[in-house]
Structure 1
Amino acid sequence: MATTVPDVPPGRLGAATHSRSPWPRLGYAGQDDGPGKPAVGPAFALLGTVQATLIFTITVISVPLPVIGREWGLGQSSLVLLSAAYGLSFSGLLLFGGRLTDRYGGRRMFTAGLVVVAAASMVAAIAPGSASLTAARFAQGVGAALVAPAAVAVLRRVFADPASYGRAMATWGGLSVLGATLGSLLSGIVVTWLSWRWMLAVPLVVAAVAALVTRRMLPADTQYERAALDLPGALLATSGITLLSFGLVVTGEHGWTSAMVLAPLASGLVLLGAFVAVELSSADPLLPMSFLADVRRVTALLVIALSAAGTAVVSLLLVLYLQQIRNWTPLRTSMAFLPYAVVLVVVGRVSGRLVARWGAQRVTSAGLALAAGGLLLLAGVDLHTEFGLGLLPGLILLPAGVALSFSAGSVLALSHVRPRQAGLAGGVLNTAMEVGPTAGLALLTALATARTTHLETGGAGLPDATTSGYAWAFGAAGFAFAALAAVTALTGRTRPHRSG
């Protein structure tokens, strides 16, 4: 029988080492580094840099998007599609990417995905128009969907010891939100003095360099199964998630009752229902339903989705507030997120030790509560809110909480996962990370718009009404975080389920 990754009680994660490093010096097979074996530190650095870059690439054009629209004379529909192209293919193909990893091996699929990302990024950087840039962004997402689950599978082999693996996953969980924040931070700086195209050179360089050094720095594929690909399940999951995500994305331009929204949402839900039916009857399903039978795992996936959604909502609405309501420049707006990024880095560095001392479930609940506090502070925003006293406290509490909930939530989501399902686990984890912001943005921006429209109808001025709409969205997100914190605390005593 394949071994499982057991829960590590508080205080056990750090017992494997007396080093000051945030992860133990263990070889990829759980033994000391030796001749010919990749070292743990460089392997983790490579995998972590790539993971952060994949999420960085999502937000890389968020701040320059208006500049791109003016340069090419794009309408709102074209901008929406350009903004969403990467995330649509990324989220839709992750489950299939996980199955390919489990079938063909983590390092092999990691390398293949990096090649796709590098090639697509090169095309994106020199794209002559919106159609070619949109297609390149979609291709970047395809490559990312191969890389992300493969990286998690390789990480599982690098840290074969349960204690070191749990410690590494606690650090890994904070990398994605850091990548998203750096995308928003750096894009405003670059677009001020350089062309937005330089931002697209980042995933190109990272993917190209990583592809060149992967064979030397990561362990070879020695154990993987020749399982069936479940193409019907893959087709249904990919099309269902993509259509559902597209329907949520276009709510920013079309009403929820319009055909442009209802048609893809309904079609996506039908296809996902068919996917569940196919998986239940399949002898070798793409996503075994037993994998989601663990209440703690499902709760952890919700934590990751909500944490990703919270950061996406704040990044979008705060950028709109500062630039459109307060008339801040893109550079000054980006600088506003600098404390946010610093807190993410600092808390991310200590999250592993906190998980080791207090346990993943407690740290997850505490992180959600901190994030809720930060969002509720931001809900007090108005036309005259000062940055230092009004916004900064929320921009410190929120990233601290999100870094903890991401880190500890990732540990919970991947506990008791068999090595042969490492690719599947990586696909599911990243799917939650990608779908969360799409759904969260759609729902909370709809709430903000409804509040704005209501106040405008009552005679309020547009800036006041819009700001109040943003405040309502922050408040709703804060209450959602607080509610999930309570749920997470209650599910902590549930007996873990071993995925089959």
Structure 2
Amino acid sequence: MTVSLTKPRATSPWISLGVLAMAQFVLVLDSTVVNVALPSIQNQFELTEARLAWIPNGYQLAFGGLLLLGGSLGDLYGRRRLFMIGLALFSGASFIAGIAWSADIVIAMRFVQGVGAAMTAPAALSSISRIFTEPGERSRALGTWGGITALGGVVGAVLSGVITQLASWRWVFFLTVPVTVLALLLAPRLVPESRAPSKPRLDVVGAALVTLGIGTAVFTLLDKGQRSWTSPFVLTGLAVAGLLIVAFVLWEKQRTNPMVPLSIFRNRNRVVGVVASVIFGSILSTYFFTTTQYMQTVLGFTPLRTGVAYLPLGLIILVSFPLVSFVVARIGIRPVMPTGLAAGMLGLILLSRISVDGTYAGDVLPGMCLIAFAAACGFVTFTIAGVDGTTEENAGIASGILNAGGQIGSALGLATLVSIAVSVLASELAQGVNRSQALVDGFSKAYTVGAGLLLVGAVIAASFLTRRTTVTESAPMM
């Protein structure tokens, strides 16, 4: 088979990785860069907690819901081409969000950013899986990619605090524009084009069903407010979401060329990687949202101090991820992934003990350190497991599913756990509890539920991962 991959000129694969990783860094950074700025945005536009959550969730919902379609588009029309189109869309939406005159514009542009990211991310990751065909190099490249992904989230939180304090929350959106423009200029020269040898048909109906299903669930959970979990609004919304997801599965099963071919899930490591990515994504998005709110609303931190408070998280990831990559290259992902998930579980258990009179050193930092180690272990191992054994034919869709898992987990997890926290908040406020104590109790409940989810993920990883990952050999590059 002839691999459909072309290079405009001889380029080191590691230079190509640098350009692709630059874009991925910005996409992940954008998932967290708004978190420290959220209280400032909330104050300017007078938003409730549930409406505020749409600012991070709008991005994650569009990103996760359209990733599979993005992967298919890259396979069909060329991964570098989709990478560049997505970056251009993302950059334009970032600029408009920065000049937004209402919360509705910010939320709308977050959705558009998510659409651009859904084109860029799977195209970049599947390009890496095709550029690095030697098993050892591919594992190192994917490990580096995973570490940069984790680091991007932390840098976003730190920069957000600095920018919000010294300039304005609007600059958290302007920040990404120069980087994306640079990547757009470099990509045609340094990133090879590739596409699937066959011509897959686009599955627009499938993409619509899965996005509407997830979107309905997120909308229902975020708008739950003070309603009971058994209220007609909640039950109807979740039932409609469930029916849409079932319809998506049935639609995919009867298609000759489905957007999500069931054969993708014959590889056990891929399944575990996606499941773990969903679980950890749901926890990490909630962690940033609630911890930021706790530090600024309860402990009284300024945005700058909040951003600086996340520095240990970044430093631990920076130190840990090359070590994790080194260890994984020698002993495999099977012992590393569950270890990381278990560390995250312990971190959330420590965070669940936060108090109104707490301190950064005593209440926030210990759990943060464990979450950082969990992120380093997770992003490296999830990436390697999620594209295990892919071929030129299915690299795009496999990477799309992996990315979608993390983003969908982020959207659903944030909606669910914030809904739990808001329910506790509303209940305690009705009982006369002061707002700070009610907030802390709500956050603590969310952390506790999150710890339980990570325990489930650790058990799944320990039980079902195979001892070795495999890399399907592809034809030589032409």
Common topology (TM > 0.5): yes
Q: Closer, same or farther in 2 for the Cα pair 1:330/1:458, shift >3 Å?
A: same
Q: Closer, same or farther in 2 for the Cα pair 1:135/1:315, shift >3 Å?
A: closer
* Cross-structure match for 1:136: 109
Tell me the TM-score normalised to structure 2 length.
0.89
Contact 1:59–1:183 (8 Å) recurs in 2: yes
Residue 334 of structure 2 aligns to a residue whose secondary structure is: helix
Deviation at 1:113, TM superposition (A): 0.9
1:300 and 2:268 correspond: no
2:152 to 161, 179, 184: 179
1:341 to 314, 317, 330: 314
Quick one: which amino acid aligns to residue 130 of structure 1? A
Q: What is the distance in 1 between the residues matched to 2:468 and 2:317?
A: 31
* Cross-structure match for 1:189: 162
1:482 to 428, 450, 455: 455
Q: What is the distance in 2 between the residues matched to 1:116 and 1:253?
A: 37
Deviation at 1:360, TM superposition (A): 0.9
Contact 1:2–1:419 (8 Å) recurs in 2: no
1:322 and 2:295 correspond: yes
Q: Closer, same or farther in 2 for the Cα pair 1:244/1:450, shift >3 Å?
A: closer
Contact 2:296–2:302 (8 Å) recurs in 1: yes
Contact 1:84–1:249 (8 Å) recurs in 2: no
| Percent of matched pairs sharing the same residue | 32
* Cross-structure match for 2:134: 161
* Cross-structure match for 1:58: 31
1:491 to 458, 461, 464: 464
Q: What is the distance in 2 between the residues matched to 1:127 and 1:373?
A: 40
Deviation at 1:398, TM superposition (A): 1.4
* CA RMSD of superposed structures (Å): 2.9
Alignment size in residue pairs: 471
Deviation at 1:493, TM superposition (A): 4.2
Q: What is the distance in 2 between the residues matched to 1:146 and 1:252?
A: 33
Deviation at 1:479, TM superposition (A): 3.1
2:284 to 311, 318, 326: 311
Contact 1:451–1:468 (8 Å) recurs in 2: yes
Q: Closer, same or farther in 2 for the Cα pair 1:132/1:374, shift >3 Å?
A: closer
Deviation at 1:482, TM superposition (A): 2.6
Q: Closer, same or farther in 2 for the Cα pair 1:86/1:472, shift >3 Å?
A: closer
Deviation at 1:365, TM superposition (A): 1.2
Q: Closer, same or farther in 2 for the Cα pair 1:223/1:321, shift >3 Å?
A: closer
1:419 to 378, 392, 396: 392
Deviation at 1:94, TM superposition (A): 0.8
1:377 and 2:356 correspond: no
Q: What is the distance in 1 between the residues matched to 2:471 and 2:235?
A: 38
Contact 1:361–1:412 (8 Å) recurs in 2: no
Residue 420 of structure 1 aligns to a residue whose secondary structure is: coil
Q: What is the distance in 2 between the residues matched to 1:130 and 1:387?
A: 31
Q: What is the distance in 1 between the residues matched to 2:171 and 2:340?
A: 35
Q: How does 1:48-447 map to 2 (within 5 A)?
A: 48-72=21-45, 79-221=52-194, 223-251=196-224, 256-257=229-230, 261-447=234-420
1:417-455: per-residue Cα shift (whole Å, max 9, x none)? 222111101211111111112222233334444555666
Q: Closer, same or farther in 2 for the Cα pair 1:473/1:57, shift >3 Å?
A: same
Quick one: which amino acid aligns to residue 182 of structure 1? V
Q: Which runs of 5+ in 2 are unaligned?
A: 473-478
Contact 2:354–2:444 (8 Å) recurs in 1: yes
Quick one: which amino acid aligns to residue 91 of structure 2? A
Q: What is the distance in 1 between the residues matched to 2:268 and 2:2?
A: 22
Contact 2:348–2:451 (8 Å) recurs in 1: yes
Q: Closer, same or farther in 2 for the Cα pair 1:316/1:81, shift >3 Å?
A: closer
Q: What is the distance in 2 between the residues matched to 1:457 and 1:197?
A: 35
Contact 1:124–1:200 (8 Å) recurs in 2: yes
Q: Which runs of 5+ in 1 are unaligned?
A: 4-27
* Cross-structure match for 2:475: none
